[in-house]
Structure 1
């Protein structure tokens, strides 16, 4: 038995499956949990791999720590999506964080993850954490709070999640960030979602003071996987606070080799910088 996620152009990522543990249709999507042969449990939403239990840190660590270590004092953090709890767990490793709000639209993802995955490792019960079931874009539009870091842990930049990669969303997010603030988002497969990456980069570039991009090899995804960073103010995302990185117990992202994040394939870099056209 196997599970295959098909990407554009006939490219697939496959896992050998021992058994299906759970399946349901929520208000928003089909949720499945599998037991794989070599990577523990597999979470699938609407046919797309969200994480594998053994290796999920290869996604959550680069999504969280570069941004929080680049920010001079990240106290208030917003997570949009991330219902499995992995991003929240990594955010709460930082002692500077006083409050982390996670806004997930699908309550069933949170409940299923608690029962079958447990990768939050107690983060949902942390007194600094607040979990809100709702629309992340609406939350950003309506919040009165000022934020230091916004992390978009959404599904791929196609279909329903596409609004989270729009200029409208980035402009709204920019306005709720403090004078020095960071927004980071996953932005899909470098090779297979290149057009979507370019579109999101263009939208972010029209709003934020500085925009950075990087890639990271993520287990279970069509890697390398891309990430976009929008900076409000004078933060230099190429520099991080190594002192605050001590004790974070990281597996994949290496703060001492932070500069290696920016090794994007040349043709993709040229596309992003306008030196090359598709």
Structure 2
């Protein structure tokens, strides 16, 4: 058995499958879980790879720690999406965090992740029982939640699906302006923004929209296991935070496998033609 996620132009990322664990249709999407030959469990939503068990930190670490270590004192954190628990798990590694809220619209994602995927180390169970003192799980629309909490968060992390189809709203100018308003006087916003080579137009569109909303915008890439890498991330800055610098002393307290804070500058290696497009210099 094989599972292949097909990207535009006939490009695919595939895994050898030893068994299918489950397939369930939620109110929002089709959720599938497989056992792979060499990467543990494979989590799929609407035919797209969300993560593989042995390698998921190659996504969650660059999504979380660069912004958390760049912010001088990240106490209040909002996670939109991320129902598998991996993003919030990484957020709570930071001792400065006092209040972290995860808003996931699909309760079934949380249920499947808690019962079968289990990359969260028991976090989802503790959230459901109300036994996690620094964090809270809300089943609901993260976009609407963000609108009602102005100037509230130090860091906002959007762990969404790819910037195509229905998720395109999460990469709109209006959404970014709402995110800007939801940040405190100084704050950082981050989102994954798709495959650099295969979603180039979507990355460019999201970058341009973000520049209309934030004081400064950064882009970086990271090789993510299971994705059509290099995978892109966009960071919006409110205030005078320097995203090019991270707190290496705080980084020493973290257990990291993929993202290396001491080599933070290597994040910003974008292919030249994409960088030229992002910076308005044309390109092939």
Conserved 8 A contact 2:151-2:184: no
Taking the TM superposition and a 5 Å limit, the aligned residue runs for 1:11-160 are: 11-124=11-124, 125=126, 126-143=132-149, 146-160=152-166
C-alpha displacement of 1:249: 0.7
State the partner residue of 1:205. Answer: 211
- CA displacement, residues 231-278 of structure 1 (integer Å, 9 cap, x when unaligned): 000001000000000121100000000000001100110010000156
> Matched residue of 1:181: which SS?
strand
State the partner residue of 2:275. Answer: 269
Structure 1 residue runs of 4+, over 3 Å off? Answer: none
Taking the TM superposition and a 5 Å limit, the aligned residue runs for 1:150-229 are: 150-229=156-235
- CA displacement, residues 125-159 of structure 1 (integer Å, 9 cap, x when unaligned): 22211111111111111225610000010000011
State the partner residue of 2:129. Answer: none
- CA displacement, residues 5-49 of structure 1 (integer Å, 9 cap, x when unaligned): 000000000000000001100000000000000000000000000
- CA displacement, residues 133-192 of structure 1 (integer Å, 9 cap, x when unaligned): 111111111225610000010000011111110100100110110111000000000000
Structure 1: stretches of 5+ with no match in the other structure: none
Conserved 8 A contact 2:67-2:190: yes
> Matched residue of 2:80: which SS?
strand
Conserved 8 A contact 2:151-2:181: no
State the partner residue of 1:244. Answer: 250
Structure 2: stretches of 5+ with no match in the other structure: 127-131
Aligned Cα root-mean-square deviation (Å): 0.9
Normalising by the residue count of structure 1, what TM-score does the alignment of the two structures yield? 0.98
> Matched residue of 1:18: which SS?
strand
Which whole-Å CA distance do the structure 2 matches of 1:61 and 1:104 have between them? 19
Which whole-Å CA distance do the structure 2 matches of 1:69 and 1:144 have between them? 23
Normalising by the residue count of structure 2, what TM-score does the alignment of the two structures yield? 0.96
Conserved 8 A contact 2:32-2:44: yes
Q: How many residues align?
A: 278
Conserved 8 A contact 2:84-2:113: yes
Conserved 8 A contact 1:245-1:255: yes
C-alpha displacement of 1:123: 2.5
Conserved 8 A contact 2:77-2:154: yes
- CA displacement, residues 66-123 of structure 1 (integer Å, 9 cap, x when unaligned): 0000000000000011000000000000000001101111000000000111111133
